[in-house]
């Protein structure tokens, strides 16, 4: 089992990062989903669209012209 887990957050239009996504890595565990969300809000406020697990998100990279926000 991994000690960390990745979550991916996308931005909607007019949120400053059109077609962008941000990867947030947090310690694995029962609160990982919420911890990632909390970190995203800390960094970007509420100006983002959706949160995805790695399994949900990675196939989207082949389908859509997304770019990683650093």
CA end-to-end span of the chain = 27
Q: pLDDT per residue over 38-64, tens digit each? A: 999 999 999 999 999 999 999 999 999
* Dihedral sign, Cα of residue 64, residue 49, residue 53, residue 3: positive
Residue 39 backbone dihedrals phi, psi, to 5 degrees: -65, -40
Q: pLDDT per residue over 15-42, tens digit each? A: 889 999 999 999 999 999 999 999 999 9
Q: Is the pTM of this model over 0.85?
A: yes
């Amino acid at each position: 089992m991994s000690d960390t887990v990745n979550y991916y957050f996308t931005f909607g239009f007019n949120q400053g990062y059109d077609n962008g996504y941000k990867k947030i890595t947090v310690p694995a565990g029962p609160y990982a989903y919420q911890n990632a969300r909390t970190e995203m809000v800390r960094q970007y406020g509420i100006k983002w669209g959706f949160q995805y697990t790695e399994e949900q998100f990675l196939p989207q990279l082949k389908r859509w012209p997304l770019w990683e926000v650093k």
